[in-house]
Structure formats: C-alpha cells, structure tokens
C-alpha cells in the first residue's frame, strides 16, 4: 500500500512539473494575448480622444473648403469623412488635372457640394488615433462657373455659358497624425496618388479675326477620361 501511495505521489508531481514547464515555454504568446485584451478593454473604458474635427488649409487654394470628421473604431482602425463646397481654383496643378479659374469679370463661380469618405489603418497600437497610417478613400469634386459672353466691342452680354468639371477620385494615402502632448490639437501630414475619373465641359473663348470685324467666338468641348493625380497636404484639428 505504501508503495502504491509513493508511486502515485511521484506521478502527480511529474505531471505538475510538465504542466509548469509547458506554461513557461510559451511566455510570448500569453503576453501578446493579454496585451491585446488589455488594449481593447482600455479602448472601451478609458476616457481618451476618439473623435477629431479637422480642416485642411492648403486645399483652400485649390478651391476646396472642406471640414473633416474622424472617428476611431478600434485602436488601429478609424473612419474619416468630409463635406464642403468648391469655390474658385487659384492653382493650375498639372499633377492633379486642375485648371486655374479666370479672374476676369466675366467669370462667375458657382459653389458646389463636395464630399469624401474613407477608412484609415494605423500601423501602431494606440488608444488614440495617432501615428503612421495608410488610408483609402473616395472623393467627389465638382467645379462650376458661368462665363458671360462678349459682344463685338468687348462688352459683356447677358448670355452665359456653363463650364463644369467633375472629378471622382479613389485615393491611396500614407500619412502621420500626431496629438499634441499638452492639448487636444492634432496635426496630420499626408500624401499619395489617386486614380481620377474626369468629366469636363470646357468653354473655350477666342478672338476671331477672320471676318470683316473682329468678334469673340465660343466653343464648348466635352471630354471624359481617367488620369493619375497626386496629393500632399496638412490637416489641423481638435480631438475630443
């Protein structure tokens, strides 16, 4: 009886030893699981920045006036959407397919609605939406202006021709967003290419000298094509 009791104790001790060694042999896996669980729990309970409202001052010169809203969904994934209006385009940027608007008195800018939306993936774990990220988004832009025609002596008439440029973009951006260390101000620097689908209705104006008297001639050209555009910018915002 004593021998069976001693043998049973040895088997039980050996089993406990093997279980302990197996647990010690996988410390990394246990640590990763616990870290992710703690991060997810903290994201749901800790009072931290999960919402950001931003503006993009540089695109004002391209005729866009948008306001952006970003909402953190998980510690790595967020949704960003923007809405705004398009006004006068001051820049002629060949790498975005834009044309600058004429500053003449006969050009009347027609404000149009613009919008964009996309998902952003942060490459580092953080309770707040900051760090290096990759983003894919869709954007719709529409630039419209009315061009008043000129009479034989160069005076403007009441006849107007509409010039319209419509852009639909799929943008692939890389950037870095940083939250201020002593406030909720955020700075977001980004850049990247986009696939742009363009539908343009262009009004071309020229002085015709072939007749007896010089006169202004107008033609309307429609075109639809695709091109690659590039973007670079800085957003400034406030988190809450």
Helix (H) and strand (E) counts for the chain?
Answer: 2, 9
Dihedral (Cα; 115, 164, 235, 83), 10-degree rounding? -20
Domain count along the chain:
2
Residues 118 and 209 placed together within one structural domain of the fold: yes
Longest dimension (CA), the chain: 130
Q: Domain range spanning residue 127?
A: 48-239
Residues 116 and 38 placed together within one structural domain of the fold: no
Reported as a pLDDT band with limits 50, 70 and 90, residue 167 is: very high
Residues 70 and 122 placed together within one structural domain of the fold: yes
Residues 110 and 193 placed together within one structural domain of the fold: yes
Q: Beta strand 156-179 with 131-150: parallel, antiparallel or unpaired?
A: antiparallel
pTM exceeds cut of 0.85: no
Q: Is the pLDDT of residue 4 over 60?
A: no
Contact between residue 39 and residue 127 where contact means Cβ atoms under 8 Å apart: yes
Which residue shows structure tokens 């967020």? 78
- Position 66 scores a pLDDT of 96
Residues 116 and 4 placed together within one structural domain of the fold: no
Which of residues 47 and 223 earns the better pLDDT score? 223
Residues 61 and 22 placed together within one structural domain of the fold: no
Residues 194 and 210 placed together within one structural domain of the fold: yes
Query: How far apart (Å, rounded) are the C-alpha atoms in residues 118 and 172?
Result: 10
Residues 182 and 107 placed together within one structural domain of the fold: yes
Mean pLDDT of all residues in the chain? 84
Reported as a pLDDT band with limits 50, 70 and 90, residue 208 is: confident
Across the range 78-103, mean pLDDT stands at 79
Residues 177 and 72 placed together within one structural domain of the fold: yes
- Position 210 scores a pLDDT of 82
Residues 146 and 219 placed together within one structural domain of the fold: yes
């Amino acid at each position: 009886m004593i021998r069976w009791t001693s043998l049973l104790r040895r088997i039980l001790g050996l089993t406990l030893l093997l279980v302990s060694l197996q647990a010690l042999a996988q410390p990394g896996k246990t640590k990763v699981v616990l870290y992710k669980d703690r991060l997810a729990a903290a994201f749901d309970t800790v009072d931290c920045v999960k919402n950001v409202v931003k503006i993009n001052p540089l695109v004002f010169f391209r005729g866009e006036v948008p306001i952006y809203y970003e909402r953190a969904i998980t510690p790595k994934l967020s949704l960003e959407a923007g809405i705004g209006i398009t006004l006068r385009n001051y820049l002629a940027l060949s790498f975005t397919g834009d044309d600058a608007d004429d500053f003449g008195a006969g050009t009347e800018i027609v404000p149009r609605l613009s919008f964009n939306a996309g998902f952003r993936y942060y490459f580092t774990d953080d309770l707040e939406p900051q760090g290096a990220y990759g983003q894919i988004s869709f954007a719709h832009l529409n630039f419209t202006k009315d061009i008043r025609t000129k009479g034989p002596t160069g005076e403007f008439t009441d006849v107007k021709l509409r010039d319209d440029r419509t852009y639909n973009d799929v943008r692939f951006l890389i950037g870095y967003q940083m939250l201020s260390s002593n406030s909720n101000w955020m700075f977001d620097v980004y850049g990247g290419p986009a696939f742009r689908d363009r539908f343009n209705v262009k009004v071309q104006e020229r002085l015709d000298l072939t007749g007896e008297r010089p006169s202004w001639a107008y033609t309307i050209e429609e075109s639809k094509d695709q091109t690659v555009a590039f973007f670079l910018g800085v957003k400034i915002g406030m988190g809450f």
